[in-house]
Amino acid sequence: MADTRLDRELDTRETFQRQAQWAPAALLPEIKKEPGWAYRWIRTSMAGQADATNVSSKMREGWEPVKLSEHPELHLYIDGNSRFKDSIEVGGLLLCKTPEEFVDQRSAYYNKQTQSQTDAVDNSFMKENDARMPLFKEKRTTTSFGKGK
């Protein structure tokens, strides 16, 4: 009896491809991130009112506006009435960048602040601890088996 079957490697199947599903558009365009830089959208206005305080505080923290020449692919998304010429502003948000070291230093600073505040609250709370009425009591459960009859 002759074997008329094809080898499995030669046998092909139709590939099943799912239909693409609709999804809402992203509010902000995706950018090509450069290594060594952290990116963030900074609020420049809210409800039609300029937010100069927020912008100036972020600039003092080390954030600098990203130039449109660095990301020409975003030219279509730019707000024509932007106060920040040659920068990328979309819907009251300005794309800014800073070195990643600054972000790491900022995170370390705020982690230290959080830890010191947590320690202060714990110390203040434990100051009220009394051996006669402990704030925390170690709870233990025990299981004992009786004698069966």
Distance CA 66, CA 42 (A): 11
In this structure, the chain runs to a length of 149
- First and final C-alpha spacing in the chain: 75
41: Cβ–Cβ under 8 A, 6 or more apart, which residues?
Answer: 28, 90, 93, 94, 95, 96
Q: What is the pLDDT of residue 1?
A: 56
Asked whether the predicted pLDDT for residue 136 surpasses 90, the reply is no
Distance CA 47, CA 138 (A): 53
Q: What is the pLDDT of residue 22?
A: 83
Distance CA 129, CA 118 (A): 17
Alpha-carbon torsion, ordered 106, 109, 111, 112, to 10 deg:
170
Q: What is the pTM of this model?
A: 0.62
In this predicted model, what pLDDT tens digit does every residue of 56-112 receive, in sequence order?
999 999 999 999 888 888 777 677 777 888 888 888 889 999 999 999 999 999 999
In this predicted model, what pLDDT tens digit does every residue of 13-45 receive, in sequence order?
666 677 788 888 778 888 888 899 999 999 998
Q: How confident is the model at residue 144 (pLDDT cuts 50, 70, 90)?
A: confident
Asked whether the predicted pLDDT for residue 5 surpasses 80, the reply is no
Distance CA 116, CA 12 (A): 64
What average pLDDT does range 111-124 have in this prediction? 89
